[in-house]
Structure formats: C-alpha cells, structure tokens
A and B are shown apart, each in its own frame.
Chain A
C-alpha cells in the first residue's frame, strides 16, 4: 500500500513534503506521520507533544477531509490516501 504525506508551512521546511510511504495494513494516521517525522527531531517536536499526540493546533486532512487529531490514532489509512499536515500560519 502506498500513501502520500504532504507537509505545509513550517512542517515542510523541517521535514520536506510529498513523502511516499508504504505502511502496513491497519496503520493509523498518527503512527504513519510519527514514523516520518521521527527522521528529524525538530520536525517531530513541532508536530507532536511529549506523549506522541498531535499538538492541539495541528491540522490533519485525509484526502481533503479534516480528521480530528484526537481520532488520528483510530483512523486507519487506505491505499492511495493523501494525508496533509499543517499548522495555522500566524504572521501578518
């Protein structure tokens, strides 16, 4: 199974984007993103808290549809999914 993870804004600066991954079946969104983000500590820390949960302001979308970050541990990815992860950009 192949899925694509797209990071935006600061997350992209830290981790790159359009990352193709081949997770095993039954993998939850949060585990997929954690595995990718673990490549770079600063990127991981920007997205996840000390317990490995998405930080409260992080936006996660699956195929253009919002996934509540609280549910990202239960939401299992499917082949061809596109997962977008981004922070609210705040400057003006």
Chain B
C-alpha cells in the first residue's frame, strides 16, 4: 500500500509499470557494493525510484579527489565516512525508503551475511577480487548480479542471472593488474544508470535484460556496442571447473 505522498512521488513511473510494478520496487531489497563513482548514481537513482530497502557498503572516507565523480558526496563531506555521507543524501532524496549504510570491507568471511536476503547485488566495486566474491555470492544465493566497470571514457555492464547467463568468471576469468585508473565523472554516470535501469527492469519484469550480453560504452566516440557472451561449461564459479576461490 502506498501513502498519498508516495503515489504522488512515483506518479510518472506508475504510468510506466503501474502500482503493481511500484509495489515490486517497494518490496525489494537491493545490495550495492560500493559508494564511489558507480555506487553514487546507482544508489541515487534506485533511492528515488522507490526501492524499499537499500543496503550500501563502503569502507572508505570521502577524499577531495573523489569529488569529480562520486556525486553522493560533496565538498563539505571530505573526511567523512562515505557511508555516513551516503546515508544523509539518500535519506534526503527519499525519506520513504529504508537505507542501511554499512562501513566495512567486503571479504570472504562477511560477504554472505552482508548481502543477507537481498534480492540482487549491484557491483560498484573498483577491483576484481571483490567482484569475484560478489559474483560467487550471487550464484550461491541465486540472485542476480548487476556488473558494471569503468575506466576513462569507457565502461561496460552486464547482468548475471545465476543458472541462466554466463557469470563474471565465465567472461573475465583473470583479473587485470591493479592501477590508479583515470576517469571523468560522466562515465560512471552512464554505466551506473545502465546498472540501475537493469535493476528496475528486473524487479518490474520489464524489457530485455543484459544477460548474455556485455554492454560497452565508448564515450569518446559516443558509441554503445554489445558483445555476445556465453557460459563457460568449465567455469570454476558456475560450471564444472575446480571451485578454488578467486582472490
């Protein structure tokens, strides 16, 4: 059931997917791993769309050098925990939803508890070891994993549906070397909103998800392309391969 205020707030999107669709968003619990470049637009758009419960996890503190892209945080937040800053903003954007902001490092020992009974995991991480961990957690819990990653003007996204689509390790079995990646804020803006769109489509059962397709965005040429991706039957995470944990 919606309050009058909620009906008014979501009026334009109820036109799209009805009160039934809005109800699905309200009942949903989405886990966002990271409150940085990707996590910012993902959390903002999912909050204003009316996702009933959002858990957002980050271990970092807001740094001046984050502000060119991490739009959840402002100049006066420098030095604050990202979770504190995120909680303040998201509450301001939508006081009708529940936000859990957890200040911790995601690791093999806590990932399952952190994700809990969430209906989906959104990847807003900046490294593959934790992405592999989230991918395997999503597979284990049989919930979707909404992957996104960026560098410079370039980004990629895909939606992993356990048992149906290729998983992250099918697509990228080996992590690239670590680097301080260059980035301009519009790129996580594009990819983060693609990921948030996927979440909304998945929950409201609308459209065609990015499962089995790697969406790529090249901001320098303004070209969106897709690469067909297939499951690897010998995948160590979702197939018959050895199950050694990726670190």
Q: C-beta contact mask, B21-56 vs A, less than 8 Å → 1, else 0?
A: 000000000000010111100000000000000000
Q: With an 8 A cutoff between CB atoms, is B171 at the interface?
A: yes
- Whether A66 lies near B230 (C-beta < 8 A) is yes
Q: Are A92 and B125 in contact (CB under 8 A)?
A: yes
1/0 contact trace for A57-92 toward B, CB 8 Å? 101010011100000000000000000101111111
| CB of A48 within 8 Å of the partner chain | no
Contact A91 B149 (CB under 8 A): yes
Question: Interface size of B by Cβ–Cβ distance < 8 Å?
Answer: 37
| Contact in complex: B176, A59 (CB < 8 Å) | no
Given contacts A59-B171, A66-B232, contact A89 B151 (CB under 8 A): yes
Question: Quick check: is A13 within 8 A (CB to CB) of the other chain?
Answer: yes
**Residues of A contacting B154 with CB < 8 Å?**
8-10, 12-13, 89
Q: Which B residues are in CB contact (< 8 Å) with A35? A: none
B218 within 8 A of A: yes
**CB of A42 within 8 Å of the partner chain:** no
Q: Which B residues lie within 8 Å of A91 (CB)?
A: 37, 126, 149-151, 181, 183, 188
Residues of A within 8 A of B177 (CB): 57
Residues from chain B with Cβ under 8 Å of A92 in the complex: 34, 36-39, 123-127, 148-150, 188
Number of A positions contacting B (CB below 8 A):
20
Chain B residues with Cβ below 8 Å from A9 are: 151, 154, 156, 216
CA distance A53 to B172 in the complex (A): 18
Cross-chain contact B172 with A10 (CB below 8 angstroms): no
Q: Separation in Å of the A38 CB from the closest CB of chain B?
A: 22
* A56 interface contact, C-beta 8 A: yes
Residue pair A90, B152 in contact (C-beta under 8 Å): no
User: Which residues of chain B are within 8 angstroms of A87 by Cβ–Cβ distance?
Assistant: 176
Q: Which residues of B contact A8 (CB under 8 A)?
A: 154, 216, 218, 227
Interface positions of B (Cβ within 8 A of A): 34, 36-39, 123-128, 148-152, 154-156, 171-172, 174-179, 181, 183, 188, 216, 218, 220, 227-228, 230, 232
- With contacts A10-B151, A90-B176 known, what are 5 further pairs, Cβ within 8 A? A57-B175, A59-B172, A90-B126, A91-B151, A91-B183
Chain A residues packing against B (C-beta within 8 Å): 8-10, 12-13, 56-57, 59, 61, 64-66, 84, 86-92
